[in-house]
Each structure stands twice: as structure tokens, then as C-alpha cells.
Structure 1
Amino acid sequence: MASRTATPLVHPSMDEVTFAEVMEALKDPQRLGVIAALAHEPGLPCSAVFMSMSRPAATRHLKILRAAGLLHQWDDGTRRRNALRTEEFEARFPGLLDLAVAEGDRLSVQQATAPEPADAGTAQ
């Protein structure tokens, strides 16, 4: 099995990042949650960001965020750490990251306070 560090991580220059790419990356609620989590705790490892998701799905989401210029990733021993490119992103798209964080927080609160679905097997 090849090491994940065998292929270098590619982070686009902010000049290469388009508004359309960013909006495409931010349309997914799970990715908005990642943006909010990393805004509050920069440097989280991948495993802490996506605890309830399969590894391939988490990798895909992080790759999309990195390709859209939102995310900086680096290897730290056996962990891959993640942080937002806050200053760079704010210079390119002022205010957009703050909106994404606020929406990610809002969605997290909604999910945390949503009632549990009723058991489908329970007779009514």
C-alpha cells in the first residue's frame, strides 16, 4: 500500500480559485460543518473532523475544500492536519468565509437539536 505522503498535497494559488468553485464546495452541509469546525479549532486532524463518516467520503470532502482554496492540509507524523486559509481567503473573497462559518454553525445547532426519528417498527 502506498503511503499517503507519497503524493504531495496540492494547494491552489488564490489567484486560481474561482467564486463558482468556492460556492460549489460550500453547497454541501457536511462541508459547511467542516468549515465551522476548523474555524473554531484550527489544525484538527482528519479523524476529528469526520468522526461519523467513512474514510473515503471524508477524504473526498477534504479534497474538494482544498481544491476550492478553502483548506490548508499538512502532515504531522501519522496525522494529516487541516486549517482554513482564512487570511488568504478573506483577501480574495471578503466576508464569504464568515458567512460559511455562520451557516455551518447554524446547521450544527439544527442537527444537535433535531428530534430523533420515530422507530419505523413502532405501532401507532
Structure 2
Amino acid sequence: MAASTRRGTPAATARDRVPPHPELRMITLQQVLEALVDPVRRQIVRELDAAGQDLACGVIELPVSKSTATHHFHVLREAGLIRQHYVGTSRLNALRREEFEESFPGLLDALIAAPEQR
């Protein structure tokens, strides 16, 4: 029997709450570069890499509104750079470093090593 909420509708399972993630073999270099052109998205990638663990969206301090931050995380997910999943009510983000390195060798290292301002 399916779990239900108080209102009688089926409760979402953990799998239902995980947003879709593209297979990296389907991602083009252009998609990745378009995602990384924005400095806020580069900041997210750098912070996820430095953390070395999954981070909730709100833990990363960004100079944009919450709705704009949500958009940036969405763009990174669609470009195959991050993986998102829920733990309780928190949406956690992880850099797909190992998978990404197979498809685009050296790109993340170059991005992270590059100074933000020139």
C-alpha cells in the first residue's frame, strides 16, 4: 500500500523528489561552456569542489536572490556539472567531478585554477 499524506494524496518517494540528471555523454561542450560563462555558476562549482562534500543550496552564499540561485543550480544540473538529491527537506548539490572528468578531461581543473578576475 502506498504511503499517503494527511490529505489523502500519495506521498512523494525519495526517487520522485530527485530531479532528472542528463547523461554526460549527451552533453555538448557548448552546453558546458554556456553554463560556466556566468560568474555565479562558476562560484557554485568552485565552492562545491572546495567543500569536497554535498552542500545544500542555501549554504553557498550567492549575490543573487533565492529564485535566481535556483535558476543557476538548474542550469548547472542541466549542463551535467552537478547532481542534486534530497535529504529530508534539503536539496543537496554535488559536483559530478569524476563523471565530468571522463567526458571533459581537465576542464574543471582549469576552471577552478583560473583566477576569477583578470
The TM-score, its normalising length taken from structure 2, stands at 0.79
Per-residue CA distance 1:56-93 (angstroms, 9 max, x = gap)? 10000000000000001110111111111001000000
Question: Quick one: structure 1 residues 49 and 40, their matched pair in 2 at CA, closer, same or farther if it must change by over 3 Å?
Answer: same
Compute the displacement of 1:53 (Å). Answer: 2.5
Question: Distance in 2 between the 1:52 and 1:31 partners?
Answer: 11
Aligned Cα RMSD in Å?
Answer: 1.8
Matches for 1:1-124 after TM superposition, within 5 Å: 8-41=18-51, 42-103=53-114, 106-107=115-116
The TM-score, its normalising length taken from structure 1, stands at 0.76
Question: Distance in 1 between the 2:42 and 2:55 partners?
Answer: 15
Compute the displacement of 1:44 (Å). Answer: 1.0
Question: Quick one: structure 1 residues 7 and 74, their matched pair in 2 at CA, closer, same or farther if it must change by over 3 Å?
Answer: closer
Structure 2 counterpart SS, 1:73: strand
Do 1:36 and 1:102's aligned partners in 2 also have CA atoms closer than 8 Å? Answer: no
Question: Distance in 1 between the 2:113 and 2:56 partners?
Answer: 22
Question: Distance in 1 between the 2:80 and 2:62 partners?
Answer: 23
Gap runs ≥5 in structure 1: 111-124
Aligned residues: 103
Question: Distance in 1 between the 2:41 and 2:110 partners?
Answer: 13
